[in-house]
Amino acid sequence: MQTKVAIIGAGPAGLLLGRLLEKAGVDTVILERRSQDYVLGRIRAGVLEQGTVELLDKAGVGERLHADGLVHDGVEFCFDGDRHRFDFRALIGRTVTVYGQTEVTRDLMQAREASGATTIYEAENVSLHGFDGDRPSVRYVKDGVEHEIACDFITGCDGYHGVARASVPERAIRTFERVYPFGWLGILVDRPPVAEELIYAHHARGFALCSMRSHSRSRYYVQVPADEKVEEWSDDRFWDELRRRVDQETADHLVTGPSIEKSVAPLRSFVAEPLRFGRLFLAGDAAHIVPPTGAKGLNLAASDVGALAEALVEFYAERSAAGIDGYSARVLSRIWKAERFSWWMTSILHTFPETDAFSRRIQRAEFDYLRSSDAAARSLAENYTGLPL
Ligand code: RFL
Ligand code: PHB
Protein backbone atom coordinates (compact mmCIF):
# COMPACT_ATOMS: atom_id res chain seq x y z
CA MET A 1 0.00 0.00 0.00
CA GLN A 2 1.04 3.58 -0.59
CA THR A 3 -0.16 6.94 0.74
CA LYS A 4 1.07 10.49 1.16
CA VAL A 5 0.67 10.74 4.94
CA ALA A 6 0.53 7.72 7.27
CA ILE A 7 -1.23 8.70 10.51
CA ILE A 8 -0.66 6.58 13.62
CA GLY A 9 -3.64 6.77 15.99
CA ALA A 10 -7.38 7.36 15.48
CA GLY A 11 -7.92 9.63 18.48
CA PRO A 12 -9.11 13.18 17.91
CA ALA A 13 -5.63 14.31 16.72
CA GLY A 14 -5.27 11.60 14.05
CA LEU A 15 -8.87 11.77 12.86
CA LEU A 16 -8.92 15.57 12.62
CA LEU A 17 -5.57 15.65 10.82
CA GLY A 18 -6.85 13.01 8.41
CA ARG A 19 -9.99 15.01 7.73
CA LEU A 20 -8.16 18.34 7.17
CA LEU A 21 -5.72 16.66 4.77
CA GLU A 22 -8.44 14.76 2.86
CA LYS A 23 -10.37 18.02 2.43
CA ALA A 24 -7.26 19.54 0.82
CA GLY A 25 -6.82 16.51 -1.47
CA VAL A 26 -3.90 14.92 0.42
CA ASP A 27 -4.53 11.20 0.87
CA THR A 28 -3.90 9.51 4.19
CA VAL A 29 -4.08 6.10 5.87
CA ILE A 30 -4.84 5.89 9.59
CA LEU A 31 -3.55 2.96 11.66
CA GLU A 32 -5.24 2.41 15.02
CA ARG A 33 -4.28 -0.25 17.56
CA ARG A 34 -7.75 -0.53 19.11
CA SER A 35 -11.21 -1.28 17.70
CA GLN A 36 -13.53 1.53 16.66
CA ASP A 37 -15.90 0.75 19.56
CA TYR A 38 -13.08 0.84 22.08
CA VAL A 39 -11.97 4.28 20.87
CA LEU A 40 -15.57 5.53 21.10
CA GLY A 41 -15.99 4.07 24.58
CA ARG A 42 -13.32 6.26 26.18
CA ILE A 43 -14.80 9.09 28.23
CA ARG A 44 -12.43 12.03 28.21
CA ALA A 45 -12.50 15.76 27.56
CA GLY A 46 -15.62 17.90 27.42
CA VAL A 47 -14.74 21.54 26.74
CA LEU A 48 -13.90 22.95 23.30
CA GLU A 49 -12.15 26.26 22.77
CA GLN A 50 -13.53 28.60 20.10
CA GLY A 51 -10.49 27.85 17.92
CA THR A 52 -11.21 24.09 18.14
CA VAL A 53 -14.82 24.68 17.09
CA GLU A 54 -13.55 26.75 14.12
CA LEU A 55 -11.19 23.92 13.09
CA LEU A 56 -13.97 21.32 13.33
CA ASP A 57 -16.08 23.60 11.12
CA LYS A 58 -13.20 23.81 8.65
CA ALA A 59 -13.02 20.03 8.68
CA GLY A 60 -16.73 19.95 7.76
CA VAL A 61 -17.86 18.22 10.96
CA GLY A 62 -19.47 21.14 12.79
CA GLU A 63 -23.13 20.38 12.16
CA ARG A 64 -24.00 18.23 15.19
CA LEU A 65 -21.61 20.23 17.36
CA HIS A 66 -23.55 23.43 16.63
CA ALA A 67 -26.91 21.70 17.09
CA ASP A 68 -26.10 19.84 20.34
CA GLY A 69 -23.06 21.65 21.84
CA LEU A 70 -23.70 23.98 24.78
CA VAL A 71 -22.10 27.42 24.40
CA HIS A 72 -20.84 28.59 27.80
CA ASP A 73 -20.11 32.26 28.44
CA GLY A 74 -18.14 31.59 31.61
CA VAL A 75 -17.15 29.28 34.48
CA GLU A 76 -17.41 29.48 38.25
CA PHE A 77 -14.71 28.99 40.86
CA CYS A 78 -15.68 27.98 44.37
CA PHE A 79 -13.11 28.48 47.15
CA ASP A 80 -13.97 26.93 50.50
CA GLY A 81 -17.63 27.55 49.76
CA ASP A 82 -17.30 31.08 48.25
CA ARG A 83 -18.37 31.16 44.61
CA HIS A 84 -17.37 33.59 41.90
CA ARG A 85 -18.38 33.61 38.24
CA PHE A 86 -15.96 34.61 35.48
CA ASP A 87 -17.92 35.91 32.49
CA PHE A 88 -15.62 35.29 29.51
CA ARG A 89 -17.95 36.92 27.03
CA ALA A 90 -18.12 40.13 29.08
CA LEU A 91 -14.38 40.04 29.88
CA ILE A 92 -12.96 39.32 26.42
CA GLY A 93 -15.85 38.51 24.06
CA ARG A 94 -15.04 34.80 23.80
CA THR A 95 -16.82 31.59 24.83
CA VAL A 96 -16.25 27.83 25.08
CA THR A 97 -18.49 24.97 23.91
CA VAL A 98 -19.32 21.89 25.94
CA TYR A 99 -19.35 18.91 23.55
CA GLY A 100 -17.78 15.60 24.53
CA GLN A 101 -14.63 14.17 22.99
CA THR A 102 -16.64 11.01 22.29
CA GLU A 103 -19.00 13.00 20.07
CA VAL A 104 -16.14 14.83 18.31
CA THR A 105 -14.55 11.44 17.61
CA ARG A 106 -17.84 9.97 16.35
CA ASP A 107 -18.40 12.92 13.96
CA LEU A 108 -14.85 12.64 12.60
CA MET A 109 -15.13 8.87 12.15
CA GLN A 110 -18.41 9.20 10.26
CA ALA A 111 -17.01 11.89 7.95
CA ARG A 112 -13.96 9.75 7.27
CA GLU A 113 -16.05 6.72 6.51
CA ALA A 114 -18.20 8.76 4.10
CA SER A 115 -15.08 10.06 2.30
CA GLY A 116 -13.88 6.51 1.67
CA ALA A 117 -10.44 7.17 3.21
CA THR A 118 -8.70 4.11 4.68
CA THR A 119 -8.62 3.52 8.44
CA ILE A 120 -7.20 0.25 9.72
CA TYR A 121 -8.46 -0.59 13.20
CA GLU A 122 -6.88 -3.30 15.35
CA ALA A 123 -3.55 -2.82 13.60
CA GLU A 124 -0.98 -4.65 15.73
CA ASN A 125 2.79 -4.18 16.11
CA VAL A 126 2.87 -0.87 14.25
CA SER A 127 6.50 0.09 13.54
CA LEU A 128 8.03 3.15 11.88
CA HIS A 129 10.92 2.99 9.39
CA GLY A 130 13.16 5.32 7.38
CA PHE A 131 11.77 8.63 8.62
CA ASP A 132 15.30 10.04 8.78
CA GLY A 133 15.55 9.58 4.98
CA ASP A 134 13.35 10.27 1.94
CA ARG A 135 11.31 7.06 1.88
CA PRO A 136 9.60 6.41 5.18
CA SER A 137 7.29 3.47 5.71
CA VAL A 138 5.07 1.98 8.36
CA ARG A 139 4.61 -1.74 9.04
CA TYR A 140 1.81 -3.42 10.94
CA VAL A 141 0.15 -6.77 11.47
CA LYS A 142 -3.55 -7.27 10.79
CA ASP A 143 -5.25 -10.64 11.31
CA GLY A 144 -1.85 -12.29 11.57
CA VAL A 145 -0.56 -10.89 8.25
CA GLU A 146 2.24 -8.31 8.02
CA HIS A 147 1.66 -5.24 5.80
CA GLU A 148 3.78 -2.26 4.77
CA ILE A 149 2.69 1.25 3.79
CA ALA A 150 5.13 3.43 1.85
CA CYS A 151 4.53 7.13 2.47
CA ASP A 152 5.98 10.64 2.22
CA PHE A 153 5.42 11.50 5.89
CA ILE A 154 4.50 9.77 9.15
CA THR A 155 2.52 11.57 11.84
CA GLY A 156 2.54 10.25 15.40
CA CYS A 157 -0.95 10.98 16.76
CA ASP A 158 -0.84 7.88 18.96
CA GLY A 159 -1.10 9.37 22.43
CA TYR A 160 1.24 9.34 25.39
CA HIS A 161 1.89 5.56 25.33
CA GLY A 162 2.21 5.34 21.55
CA VAL A 163 4.96 3.93 19.36
CA ALA A 164 5.88 7.08 17.39
CA ARG A 165 7.69 9.06 20.10
CA ALA A 166 9.31 5.84 21.32
CA SER A 167 10.77 5.27 17.82
CA VAL A 168 12.86 8.45 17.97
CA PRO A 169 16.48 7.87 19.08
CA GLU A 170 16.94 9.06 22.67
CA ARG A 171 19.69 11.49 21.76
CA ALA A 172 17.39 13.36 19.35
CA ILE A 173 14.61 14.12 21.83
CA ARG A 174 14.33 15.91 25.17
CA THR A 175 11.41 15.48 27.54
CA PHE A 176 10.12 17.56 30.45
CA GLU A 177 7.79 16.03 33.00
CA ARG A 178 5.94 16.62 36.25
CA VAL A 179 3.81 13.89 37.82
CA TYR A 180 1.26 15.04 40.41
CA PRO A 181 0.65 12.98 43.55
CA PHE A 182 -3.08 12.77 42.86
CA GLY A 183 -5.62 11.86 40.20
CA TRP A 184 -9.23 12.66 39.33
CA LEU A 185 -11.97 10.19 40.06
CA GLY A 186 -14.69 10.93 37.51
CA ILE A 187 -18.26 9.75 37.11
CA LEU A 188 -20.73 10.12 34.29
CA VAL A 189 -24.40 10.14 35.17
CA ASP A 190 -27.66 10.52 33.24
CA ARG A 191 -28.98 13.33 35.39
CA PRO A 192 -29.23 17.07 34.66
CA PRO A 193 -26.11 19.07 35.63
CA VAL A 194 -26.22 20.91 38.95
CA ALA A 195 -25.55 24.29 37.32
CA GLU A 196 -25.63 25.82 33.85
CA GLU A 197 -21.86 26.35 33.80
CA LEU A 198 -18.83 24.43 35.10
CA ILE A 199 -17.89 24.82 38.77
CA TYR A 200 -14.21 24.34 39.71
CA ALA A 201 -14.04 23.90 43.49
CA HIS A 202 -11.09 24.19 45.86
CA HIS A 203 -11.57 22.68 49.32
CA ALA A 204 -9.28 21.55 52.13
CA ARG A 205 -10.43 17.95 51.37
CA GLY A 206 -9.33 18.36 47.75
CA PHE A 207 -10.44 19.65 44.36
CA ALA A 208 -13.85 18.94 42.79
CA LEU A 209 -15.35 19.76 39.40
CA CYS A 210 -18.99 19.87 38.32
CA SER A 211 -19.16 19.49 34.54
CA MET A 212 -21.58 18.10 31.99
CA ARG A 213 -22.03 16.60 28.55
CA SER A 214 -25.58 17.85 27.84
CA HIS A 215 -28.69 19.15 29.63
CA SER A 216 -29.40 15.62 30.80
CA ARG A 217 -25.93 14.11 31.30
CA SER A 218 -23.45 15.27 33.97
CA ARG A 219 -19.77 14.66 34.59
CA TYR A 220 -18.31 15.14 38.08
CA TYR A 221 -14.78 14.75 39.42
CA VAL A 222 -13.11 14.66 42.85
CA GLN A 223 -9.38 14.74 43.55
CA VAL A 224 -8.12 11.42 44.97
CA PRO A 225 -4.65 10.00 45.74
CA ALA A 226 -2.84 8.87 42.56
CA ASP A 227 -3.06 5.17 43.50
CA GLU A 228 -6.76 5.23 44.46
CA LYS A 229 -8.77 2.14 43.49
CA VAL A 230 -12.03 2.91 41.74
CA GLU A 231 -13.65 -0.16 43.37
CA GLU A 232 -13.35 1.59 46.72
CA TRP A 233 -15.74 4.29 45.58
CA SER A 234 -19.43 3.41 45.66
CA ASP A 235 -21.68 5.99 44.01
CA ASP A 236 -22.91 7.07 47.46
CA ARG A 237 -19.39 7.63 48.69
CA PHE A 238 -18.67 9.74 45.61
CA TRP A 239 -21.77 11.93 46.04
CA ASP A 240 -21.07 12.45 49.76
CA GLU A 241 -17.51 13.53 49.03
CA LEU A 242 -18.54 15.86 46.20
CA ARG A 243 -21.19 17.53 48.41
CA ARG A 244 -18.57 18.24 51.07
CA ARG A 245 -16.27 20.01 48.63
CA VAL A 246 -18.74 22.41 46.99
CA ASP A 247 -20.80 25.29 48.43
CA GLN A 248 -24.08 24.59 50.23
CA GLU A 249 -26.32 25.76 47.38
CA THR A 250 -24.58 23.45 44.90
CA ALA A 251 -24.66 20.56 47.37
CA ASP A 252 -28.40 21.09 47.90
CA HIS A 253 -29.17 21.16 44.16
CA LEU A 254 -27.08 18.16 43.13
CA VAL A 255 -29.23 15.62 41.23
CA THR A 256 -27.64 12.25 41.96
CA GLY A 257 -28.18 8.92 40.23
CA PRO A 258 -26.39 5.70 39.29
CA SER A 259 -23.06 6.24 37.52
CA ILE A 260 -22.76 4.96 33.95
CA GLU A 261 -18.96 5.31 33.97
CA LYS A 262 -16.45 5.69 36.77
CA SER A 263 -12.67 5.90 36.41
CA VAL A 264 -9.51 7.46 37.85
CA ALA A 265 -7.28 9.57 35.56
CA PRO A 266 -3.72 10.35 36.62
CA LEU A 267 -2.46 13.94 36.41
CA ARG A 268 0.73 14.70 34.55
CA SER A 269 2.49 17.55 32.75
CA PHE A 270 4.78 16.44 29.92
CA VAL A 271 6.38 18.00 26.84
CA ALA A 272 8.69 16.48 24.22
CA GLU A 273 11.01 18.65 22.11
CA PRO A 274 11.33 18.94 19.18
CA LEU A 275 8.22 17.62 17.42
CA ARG A 276 9.77 16.91 14.04
CA PHE A 277 12.36 14.23 13.22
CA GLY A 278 13.03 14.21 9.49
CA ARG A 279 9.77 12.98 7.97
CA LEU A 280 8.10 12.15 11.29
CA PHE A 281 5.94 14.65 13.18
CA LEU A 282 4.41 14.30 16.65
CA ALA A 283 1.06 15.88 17.59
CA GLY A 284 -1.46 15.75 20.44
CA ASP A 285 -0.88 13.56 23.51
CA ALA A 286 2.07 11.88 21.75
CA ALA A 287 3.84 15.24 22.05
CA HIS A 288 2.55 16.58 25.36
CA ILE A 289 0.26 15.93 28.31
CA VAL A 290 -1.46 18.51 30.48
CA PRO A 291 -3.35 17.90 33.71
CA PRO A 292 -7.08 18.23 32.83
CA THR A 293 -7.67 21.22 35.13
CA GLY A 294 -7.41 23.78 32.32
CA ALA A 295 -9.45 21.65 29.85
CA LYS A 296 -6.60 21.91 27.36
CA GLY A 297 -5.69 18.32 26.29
CA LEU A 298 -8.08 17.91 23.38
CA ASN A 299 -7.80 21.57 22.40
CA LEU A 300 -4.01 21.42 22.17
CA ALA A 301 -4.26 18.27 20.06
CA ALA A 302 -6.59 20.15 17.70
CA SER A 303 -4.35 23.20 17.40
CA ASP A 304 -1.27 21.01 16.75
CA VAL A 305 -2.93 19.19 13.88
CA GLY A 306 -4.44 22.41 12.52
CA ALA A 307 -0.89 23.74 12.16
CA LEU A 308 0.46 20.42 10.86
CA ALA A 309 -2.26 20.16 8.21
CA GLU A 310 -1.48 23.71 7.04
CA ALA A 311 2.23 22.86 6.78
CA LEU A 312 1.68 19.60 4.87
CA VAL A 313 -0.87 21.13 2.50
CA GLU A 314 1.61 23.95 1.80
CA PHE A 315 4.28 21.33 1.06
CA TYR A 316 2.12 19.60 -1.55
CA ALA A 317 0.47 22.69 -3.04
CA GLU A 318 3.49 25.00 -3.21
CA ARG A 319 6.41 22.56 -2.98
CA SER A 320 7.56 24.66 -0.02
CA ALA A 321 9.13 23.15 3.09
CA ALA A 322 8.81 26.40 5.08
CA GLY A 323 5.69 25.21 6.92
CA ILE A 324 7.01 21.79 7.90
CA ASP A 325 10.36 23.32 8.91
CA GLY A 326 8.58 25.76 11.22
CA TYR A 327 5.98 23.34 12.64
CA SER A 328 7.80 22.29 15.81
CA ALA A 329 8.79 25.78 17.03
CA ARG A 330 5.41 27.22 16.09
CA VAL A 331 3.31 24.74 18.06
CA LEU A 332 5.73 24.38 21.00
CA SER A 333 5.37 28.06 21.82
CA ARG A 334 1.59 27.63 22.25
CA ILE A 335 2.00 24.23 23.95
CA TRP A 336 4.21 25.71 26.70
CA LYS A 337 1.69 28.49 27.35
CA ALA A 338 -1.07 25.90 27.73
CA GLU A 339 1.25 23.82 29.98
CA ARG A 340 1.81 26.90 32.15
CA PHE A 341 -1.92 27.62 32.41
CA SER A 342 -2.82 23.98 33.20
CA TRP A 343 -0.07 23.77 35.84
CA TRP A 344 -1.23 27.05 37.40
CA MET A 345 -4.92 26.02 37.50
CA THR A 346 -3.82 22.72 39.03
CA SER A 347 -1.65 24.41 41.67
CA ILE A 348 -4.27 26.86 42.87
CA LEU A 349 -7.21 24.45 42.93
CA HIS A 350 -5.79 21.20 44.37
CA THR A 351 -4.62 20.18 47.80
CA PHE A 352 -1.02 18.95 47.72
CA PRO A 353 0.34 16.56 50.36
CA GLU A 354 2.94 19.19 51.26
CA THR A 355 0.42 22.06 51.37
CA ASP A 356 1.15 24.00 54.56
CA ALA A 357 -0.69 26.98 56.06
CA PHE A 358 1.41 29.40 53.98
CA SER A 359 0.56 27.66 50.68
CA ARG A 360 -3.11 27.62 51.61
CA ARG A 361 -3.07 31.40 52.16
CA ILE A 362 -1.31 31.85 48.79
CA GLN A 363 -4.02 29.75 47.07
CA ARG A 364 -6.68 31.86 48.75
CA ALA A 365 -4.88 35.06 47.67
CA GLU A 366 -4.88 33.82 44.05
CA PHE A 367 -8.66 33.44 44.25
CA ASP A 368 -9.17 36.84 45.93
CA TYR A 369 -6.94 38.47 43.31
CA LEU A 370 -8.81 36.81 40.44
CA ARG A 371 -12.18 37.98 41.68
CA SER A 372 -11.08 41.51 42.51
CA SER A 373 -8.91 42.34 39.50
CA ASP A 374 -10.24 42.81 36.00
CA ALA A 375 -6.72 42.24 34.59
CA ALA A 376 -6.39 38.90 36.42
CA ALA A 377 -9.87 37.78 35.36
CA ARG A 378 -9.14 38.72 31.74
CA SER A 379 -5.93 36.70 31.86
CA LEU A 380 -7.87 33.67 33.12
CA ALA A 381 -10.49 34.23 30.41
CA GLU A 382 -8.03 34.46 27.51
CA ASN A 383 -6.13 31.38 28.62
CA TYR A 384 -9.23 29.28 29.33
CA THR A 385 -10.93 30.15 26.03
CA GLY A 386 -7.65 29.53 24.17
CA LEU A 387 -4.64 31.61 23.17
CA PRO A 388 -3.91 32.22 19.48
CA LEU A 389 -1.39 29.94 17.74
P1 RFL B 1 -5.53 9.87 22.12
O2 RFL B 1 -6.95 10.29 22.28
O3 RFL B 1 -4.89 9.18 23.24
O4 RFL B 1 -5.47 8.98 20.81
C5 RFL B 1 -4.31 8.24 20.47
C6 RFL B 1 -4.74 7.03 19.69
O7 RFL B 1 -3.59 6.31 19.28
C8 RFL B 1 -3.83 4.92 19.48
N9 RFL B 1 -2.54 4.23 19.62
C10 RFL B 1 -1.97 3.49 18.64
N11 RFL B 1 -2.36 3.20 17.39
C12 RFL B 1 -1.57 2.40 16.66
N13 RFL B 1 -0.40 1.88 17.12
C14 RFL B 1 0.04 2.15 18.36
N15 RFL B 1 1.18 1.63 18.81
C16 RFL B 1 -0.75 2.99 19.18
N17 RFL B 1 -0.64 3.45 20.44
C18 RFL B 1 -1.71 4.20 20.69
C19 RFL B 1 -4.68 4.88 20.73
O20 RFL B 1 -5.41 3.66 20.84
C21 RFL B 1 -5.57 6.08 20.54
O22 RFL B 1 -6.77 5.76 19.88
O23 RFL B 1 -4.60 11.13 21.75
P24 RFL B 1 -4.91 12.41 20.87
O25 RFL B 1 -5.62 12.06 19.61
O26 RFL B 1 -3.65 13.17 20.84
O27 RFL B 1 -6.01 13.23 21.70
C28 RFL B 1 -5.69 13.84 22.91
C29 RFL B 1 -6.87 13.77 23.89
O30 RFL B 1 -7.46 12.49 23.84
C31 RFL B 1 -6.41 14.07 25.30
O32 RFL B 1 -5.56 15.22 25.33
C33 RFL B 1 -7.52 14.37 26.29
O34 RFL B 1 -8.55 13.44 26.26
C35 RFL B 1 -6.87 14.40 27.67
N36 RFL B 1 -7.80 14.07 28.70
C37 RFL B 1 -8.68 15.03 29.08
N38 RFL B 1 -8.57 16.27 28.54
C39 RFL B 1 -9.43 17.22 28.89
O40 RFL B 1 -9.33 18.34 28.38
N41 RFL B 1 -10.43 16.94 29.83
C42 RFL B 1 -10.58 15.69 30.38
O43 RFL B 1 -11.48 15.46 31.17
C44 RFL B 1 -9.68 14.69 30.03
N45 RFL B 1 -9.77 13.44 30.56
C46 RFL B 1 -7.83 12.77 29.27
C47 RFL B 1 -8.86 12.48 30.19
C48 RFL B 1 -6.89 11.81 28.94
C49 RFL B 1 -6.91 10.53 29.52
N50 RFL B 1 -5.85 9.58 29.22
C51 RFL B 1 -5.11 9.71 27.98
C52 RFL B 1 -5.25 8.81 30.21
C53 RFL B 1 -8.92 11.21 30.74
C54 RFL B 1 -7.97 10.22 30.41
C55 RFL B 1 -8.13 8.84 31.03
C1 PHB C 1 -15.02 17.31 31.55
O2 PHB C 1 -16.20 17.67 31.41
O3 PHB C 1 -14.67 16.14 31.42
C4 PHB C 1 -14.00 18.33 31.91
C5 PHB C 1 -14.33 19.66 31.89
C6 PHB C 1 -13.38 20.61 32.24
C7 PHB C 1 -12.12 20.20 32.61
C8 PHB C 1 -11.79 18.86 32.62
C9 PHB C 1 -12.73 17.90 32.27
O10 PHB C 1 -11.21 21.14 32.98
Q: Do residues 243 and 211 lie in contact, with contact meaning Cβ atoms separated by under 8 Å? A: no
Residue nearest to atom 5 of ligand 2 (CA): 46
Rg (alpha carbons) of the chain, rounded to whole number: 21
Q: Which of 177, 206, 228, 175 is closest to 343 using CA atoms?
A: 177
Mean pLDDT calculated for residue range 164-180: 97
Q: Do residues 39 and 102 lie in contact, with contact meaning Cβ atoms separated by under 8 Å? A: no
Q: Do residues 115 and 56 lie in contact, with contact meaning Cβ atoms separated by under 8 Å? A: no
- Please report the pLDDT score of residue 354 as a whole number: 85
Share above pLDDT 70 across residues of the chain, in percent, rounded to a whole number: 100
Q: For the segment 187-241, what is each residue's pLDDT rounded down to a tens digit?
A: 999 999 999 999 999 999 999 999 999 999 999 999 999 999 999 999 999 999 9
Q: For the segment 261-302, what is each residue's pLDDT rounded down to a tens digit?
A: 999 999 999 999 999 999 999 999 999 999 999 999 999 999
From the CA of 211, how far away is ligand 2's center (Å)? 6
Q: Which of the four pLDDT bands, split at 50, 70 and 90, describes residue 45?
A: confident
Residues with CB under 6 A from ligand 2: 45-47, 198, 211, 219, 292-293, 295
**What CA–CA distance (Å, rounded) separates 47 from 294?**
9
- Please report the pLDDT score of residue 111 as a whole number: 97
How many other C-beta atoms can be found within 10 angstroms of the C-beta atom of residue 246? 25
According to DSSP, residue 2 is labeled B
219 burial via Cβ count (<10 Å: 0-12, 13-18, 19+):
buried
- Please report the pLDDT score of residue 279 as a whole number: 98
How many other C-beta atoms can be found within 10 angstroms of the C-beta atom of residue 232? 9
**What CA–CA distance (Å, rounded) separates 320 from 156?**
22
Q: Rounded to the nearest 5°, which phi and psi values hold at 208?
A: -145, 155
Q: Which of 65, 350, 68, 342 is closest to 221 using CA atoms?
A: 350
Is the per-residue pLDDT at 363 higher than 90? yes
Question: Ligand 2: which of 70, 77, 217, 221 to mutate, judged by most atoms within 8 Å of the beta carbon?
Answer: 221
Q: Which of the four pLDDT bands, split at 50, 70 and 90, describes residue 44?
A: confident
Mean pLDDT calculated for residue range 118-123: 98
User: Residue 358: helix, strand or coil by DSSP?
Assistant: helix
Is the per-residue pLDDT at 52 higher than 90? yes
From the CA of 36, how far away is ligand 2's center (Å)? 23
Is the per-residue pLDDT at 42 higher than 90? no
Mean pLDDT calculated for residue range 98-104: 96
| In the chain, domain spans | 5-72+96-176+268-346, 180-267+350-385
pTM of the model: 0.97
Q: Do residues 276 and 132 lie in contact, with contact meaning Cβ atoms separated by under 8 Å? A: no
Task: Classify domain 180-267+350-385 by CATH number.
Answer: 3.30.9.10
Share above pLDDT 90 across residues of the chain, in percent, rounded to a whole number: 97
Q: Give Cα separations from 107 to 34, 101, 329 (angstroms).
A: 18, 10, 30
**What CA–CA distance (Å, rounded) separates 367 from 348?**
8
- Please report the pLDDT score of residue 191 as a whole number: 98
Residues with CB under 6 A from ligand 1: 8-14, 31-34, 39, 44-46, 101, 123, 126, 157-159, 162-163, 265, 284-285, 292, 295-298, 301
According to DSSP, residue 46 is labeled -
Report whether the peptide linkage leading into residue 169 is cis, meaning its omega lies within 30 degrees of zero. no
From the CA of 141, how far away is ligand 2's center (Å)? 36
Question: Ligand 1: which of 35, 44, 304 to mutate, judged by most atoms within 8 Å of the beta carbon?
Answer: 44
Q: Do residues 149 and 29 lie in contact, with contact meaning Cβ atoms separated by under 8 Å? A: yes
Q: Which of 59, 85, 61, 60 is closest to 72 using CA atoms?
A: 85
**What CA–CA distance (Å, rounded) separates 376 from 367?**
10
| Atom number in ligand 2 closest to CA 43 | 3
Q: Do residues 7 and 29 lie in contact, with contact meaning Cβ atoms separated by under 8 Å? A: yes
Tallying the residues shown for the chain, one arrives at 389
Is the per-residue pLDDT at 126 higher than 90? yes
Is the per-residue pLDDT at 355 higher than 90? no
**What CA–CA distance (Å, rounded) separates 348 from 233?**
25
- Please report the pLDDT score of residue 342 as a whole number: 98
Q: In three state form, how does the secondary structure of 29-45 look?
A: EEECCCCHHHHHHCCCC
| Atom number in ligand 1 closest to CA 299 | 40
| Atom number in ligand 1 closest to CA 300 | 32
Fold of 5-72+96-176+268-346: FAD/NAD(P)-binding domain (3.50.50)
Provide the sign of the torsion angle of the four alpha carbons 243, 246, 248, 251, taken in this order.
negative
Is the per-residue pLDDT at 383 higher than 90? yes
Torsion of CA 154, 157, 158, 159, to 10 degrees: 150
What is the residue-averaged pLDDT of the chain?
A: 97
Q: Which of 246, 341, 357, 359 is closest to 290 using CA atoms?
A: 341
According to DSSP, residue 125 is labeled E
From the CA of 346, how far away is ligand 1's center (Å)? 20
If one compares 353 and 303, the residue with the highest pLDDT of the two is 303
Helix axes 322-349, 374-385, angle to 10 degrees: 130
From the CA of 312, how far away is ligand 1's center (Å)? 23
Q: Which of the four pLDDT bands, split at 50, 70 and 90, describes residue 32?
A: very high
Q: Do residues 45 and 337 lie in contact, with contact meaning Cβ atoms separated by under 8 Å? A: no
Give me the active site residues, please.
Answer: 72, 200, 292, 296, 384
User: Residue 323: helix, strand or coil by DSSP?
Assistant: helix
- Please report the pLDDT score of residue 43 as a whole number: 83
